[in-house]
Structure 1
Amino acid sequence: MKHLVIIGAVWPEPNSTAAGSRMLQLISLFQKQGYEITFLCSASKSEFSFDLSTISVQTKVIQLNDSSFDIEITVLNPDVVLFDRFMIEEQYGWRVMENCPNALRILDTEDLHFLRKAREMAFKQNRELVFEDYISDVFKREMASIYRCDLTLLISEYEMQLATETFKIDVSLLYYLPFLSEEINPNVPKFKERNHFISIGNFLHEPNWQTVLQLKKHWKFIKKQLPEAELHVYGAYVTEKAKQLHNEKEGFLIKGRAESVTEVYAKSRVLLAPIPYGAGLKGKLFEAMQLGLPSITTKMGAEGMHGNLDWNGFISDENDFVKKAFELYKDKSHWETAQKNGYEIIEKRFKKELFERDFMNQVENLQENLKNHRTQNFFGQILQHQSLQSTKYMSKWIEAKNI
């Protein structure tokens, strides 16, 4: 039996973040191919952390900047190691390379952090993004991590295009693997059985907080046209500044963590997501399409999701967001068409069967041809020799200092 070791940035919380759901999808793919899986993490667990033992995944708590990891990974002796975000590869990649040189190293980006950082900078400075915004320290670190790994998973077609066309990363080092959908259940409440608007997103994620601020700005105009409507804002880890936006009279209600996304989506008529910036795919919009909930979002929110297909509602700029919210909320025909569009997007672009076999074939082929694959990755070899050594000795210095 082959062995996959996942080194996590955090313990997965699928009910709190899209990243948590994504991690469980990856675990499922490898388990279907008969892999034994061990999940390692140095972070503390929360009460909302998923119990990985319920899906037969072994877990171990590891120490950051500690040579005990060397012993741990040597004993585990994995065939494949998956790093959860580039920061984890920076911290543990050199140890994996030294102790398990024949293990296939995979980086799951979740989204391209440097892209999100560049867009955040442009947004907060109220200007258009320019190429120089990309070239940050985060960009250099993330790119180095990509080249040091044997394969990097990108979740968005847009990010795949950016990586290969703009930054000329060889396609052999990358794999497009989006969110994956199981079977769709079309037996959800109908238009007349639903009420109110909804928004959802982890409040610790800065783009989600900025989205809530955009909603607050739009809501008074929507409420004026639809006085009976409310906006229910859900999300884990509600901050104090978010709580201050709660206003019963205005119908702007900060609800906090949703115990069941399926249930709150089923009650709602329209999802509002005026996302100003970000990267990757938006889990809230993906789940909305799966669960038959039409949405209104921005071009940024819909990026990489619908291809040439019609959106699950409207993609709206700031000028007509309120108008589109009113139209989708009140027009049964438009709403039902939007719902069908969402189902079609899921069926044609995110169905699990479209990706799982090809992805696992890619993993198997890389394992069989690992030496040749690494020989062709010249930049990776250079970075292993140079930047990896600096990361290595910084970690050793921290460990010695802590003794």
Structure 2
Amino acid sequence: MKTLLVIGYVWPEPKSSAAGSRMMQLLNGFQQAGYQIHYASPAELSPHAEDLSSYGITSSSIELNSSTFDEFLLELKPAAVMFDRFMMEEQFGWRVEKHCPDALRILDTEDLHCLRHARHQAYKDGASIQETLNISNELLYSDLAKREIASILRCDLSLMISEAEMTLLVERFNVPSEILHYIPFFRPSPEQTQWLSFEARQHFISIGNFRHEPNWDAVRYLKESIWPNIRKKLPEAELHVYGAYPPKKATQLHNEKQGFLVKGWAEDAIEVVSKAKVLLAPLRFGAGLKGKLVDAAECGTPAVTTSIGAEGMYQNHVPVLVQDIADTFTESAISLYQDQGQWVTLQNQCAPMIKERFDENCHIHAFLHRLADVEQNLNHYRLSNFTGAMMRHHSMKSTQYMAQWIEAKNKRS
């Protein structure tokens, strides 16, 4: 059986973040492709991490800047290596190149870090959401972008969660489309008969890992600019704010008199979202796809979000209202909460949207087909990507010498 080594930036936490959930989906896809999976990470193990052994996946702790990883590689001899985020490719890619040059190299980008950081900078500079959405090259072409795009080019295949980001890579960075593959979140067809009705639901909900800066900003935006005006019109309504790893500054926002209830960790995100009447996601910057909006559609919960939140999400079926200004966002939230006809119309778009954009069978089949094609034609892919070969040649030397210098320094100290 073929062995896949996954080098994780963190240990998967599917109940904490959309990234953790998607990682588990990818691991399942590789198992369907016939791979025996070995997951390794230099991160500290979290109490919320998934028990990978229950899925038949072997786990190992590895060290940064240590030749012990070379020995680990030589013993494992993986047929393929997947790097979880470009930082792991930077750290370990040269060692894979040196000891397993024939291994298929895959990068799971999660979202484009350079895009998210550029938009964050634009937001801090006072840009509107539309200006942040259409980011300038001046902000986009950062040192972080140079590192991230170099990592994408060095890999044989990069897994992209957003079609919008694929377009950006091809049109703005001239990345060959042949080395990119679109694989978003995917879901089975929703059980609509289990959805609660308009009358059976109450309150608003916001959800998202607090360690993710766009989510924390959205909570502050709700508290300061949106919720006070919603509460004036709907004095009995509550906003339930869920998310893993809430810091003290977040829990201090909890105010029962204002109906702003910071609940923190949700054991089952689908359960709490399915009971809410409206999901609020006023994201002012960010990248990738928004797992909270996929979750909302899966359980028939209409939402209000921004153009940032909606990017890459929808096509013909749109179960959300999109507003980029605080006042109109507030008005849409109040209207959707009160207007049963509008609410039902949006709920009816949820199941078709999941089928159209995030169908599990469709994306798994496409992924397995693409994976088999790259495996069988690896030499062709590499010969067609001379820039990537050049990047591997030069970066292997620079990162190798830096890592060896750090390792030697650590041994002396």
Q: Assess same fold via TM > 0.5.
A: yes
Aligned residue identity for 2:208: G
More displaced stretch, 279-288 vs 380-389: 380-389
- Aligned equivalents of 1:73, 1:287: Cα separation in 2: 37
- 1:300 matched residue in structure 2: 308
Aligned-pair distance for 1:333?
1.4
- 1:346 matched residue in structure 2: 354
Question: Are residue 191 (structure 1) and residue 198 (structure 2) matched?
Answer: yes
Question: Are residue 213 (structure 1) and residue 225 (structure 2) matched?
Answer: no
- Aligned equivalents of 2:259, 2:173: Cα separation in 1: 46
- Aligned equivalents of 1:226, 1:388: Cα separation in 2: 59
Aligned-pair distance for 1:387?
2.2
1:323 to 317, 331, 336: 331
For 1:131-186, what per-residue CA distance to the aligned partner results, in whole angstroms no more than 9, with x for missing partners? Answer: 11011111000010001000011100100110112221111111111111123111
- Aligned equivalents of 2:235, 2:366: Cα separation in 1: 50
Question: Are residue 222 (structure 1) and residue 230 (structure 2) matched?
Answer: yes
- Aligned equivalents of 1:358, 1:247: Cα separation in 2: 47
Taking only aligned residues, the RMSD between alpha carbons, in angstroms, comes to 1.0
Aligned-pair distance for 1:34?
2.2
- 2:55 matched residue in structure 1: 55
- 1:275 matched residue in structure 2: 283
- Alignment coverage as a number of residue pairs: 402
- Aligned equivalents of 2:136, 2:103: Cα separation in 1: 39
SS of structure 2 residue aligned to 1:386: helix
- 1:136 matched residue in structure 2: 142
Aligned-pair distance for 1:17?
0.7
- 2:115 matched residue in structure 1: 115
Question: Is residue 188–residue 360 contact of structure 2 (8 Å, CA) maintained in 1?
Answer: yes
Question: Are residue 33 (structure 1) and residue 68 (structure 2) matched?
Answer: no
- Aligned equivalents of 2:317, 2:35: Cα separation in 1: 38
For 1:329-364, what per-residue CA distance to the aligned partner results, in whole angstroms no more than 9, with x for missing partners? Answer: 111111111112121111111101212222212211
- Aligned equivalents of 2:66, 2:341: Cα separation in 1: 60
Aligned-pair distance for 1:59?
0.5
- Aligned equivalents of 1:364, 1:310: Cα separation in 2: 32
- 1:77 matched residue in structure 2: 77
Question: Are residue 173 (structure 1) and residue 179 (structure 2) matched?
Answer: yes
Question: Is residue 189–residue 354 contact of structure 2 (8 Å, CA) maintained in 1?
Answer: no
SS of structure 2 residue aligned to 1:355: helix
Aligned residue identity for 2:101: P
Question: Are residue 156 (structure 1) and residue 162 (structure 2) matched?
Answer: yes
Structure 1, unaligned runs of 5 or more: none
Aligned-pair distance for 1:277?
0.6
Aligned-pair distance for 1:281?
0.1
- 1:362 matched residue in structure 2: 370
- 1:382 matched residue in structure 2: 390
- Aligned equivalents of 1:348, 1:334: Cα separation in 2: 21
Question: Is residue 180–residue 350 contact of structure 1 (8 Å, CA) maintained in 2?
Answer: yes
1:259 to 258, 261, 267: 267
Question: Are residue 103 (structure 1) and residue 99 (structure 2) matched?
Answer: no
More displaced stretch, 88-97 vs 318-327: 318-327
SS of structure 2 residue aligned to 1:28: helix
Structure 2, unaligned runs of 5 or more: none
Aligned residue identity for 1:249: K
Aligned-pair distance for 1:393?
0.8
Question: Is residue 313–residue 328 contact of structure 1 (8 Å, CA) maintained in 2?
Answer: no
Question: Is residue 313–residue 335 contact of structure 1 (8 Å, CA) maintained in 2?
Answer: no
- Aligned equivalents of 1:332, 1:362: Cα separation in 2: 44
Aligned residue identity for 1:247: N
For 1:273-313, what per-residue CA distance to the aligned partner results, in whole angstroms no more than 9, with x for missing partners? Answer: 00001000001111111111110000110100002x24213
More displaced stretch, 372-381 vs 190-199: 372-381
Aligned residue identity for 1:181: R
Aligned-pair distance for 1:33?
2.2
Aligned residue identity for 1:312: P
- Aligned equivalents of 1:181, 1:349: Cα separation in 2: 9
Aligned-pair distance for 1:104?
0.3
Aligned-pair distance for 1:236?
0.7
2:321 to 314, 326, 342: 314
More displaced stretch, 87-96 vs 69-78: 69-78
For 1:103-151, what per-residue CA distance to the aligned partner results, in whole angstroms no more than 9, with x for missing partners? Answer: 1000000000000010000001102332110111110000100010000
Question: Is residue 274–residue 296 contact of structure 2 (8 Å, CA) maintained in 1?
Answer: no
Aligned residue identity for 1:375: L
- Aligned equivalents of 2:267, 2:365: Cα separation in 1: 33
- Aligned equivalents of 2:32, 2:376: Cα separation in 1: 19
- Aligned equivalents of 2:339, 2:64: Cα separation in 1: 55
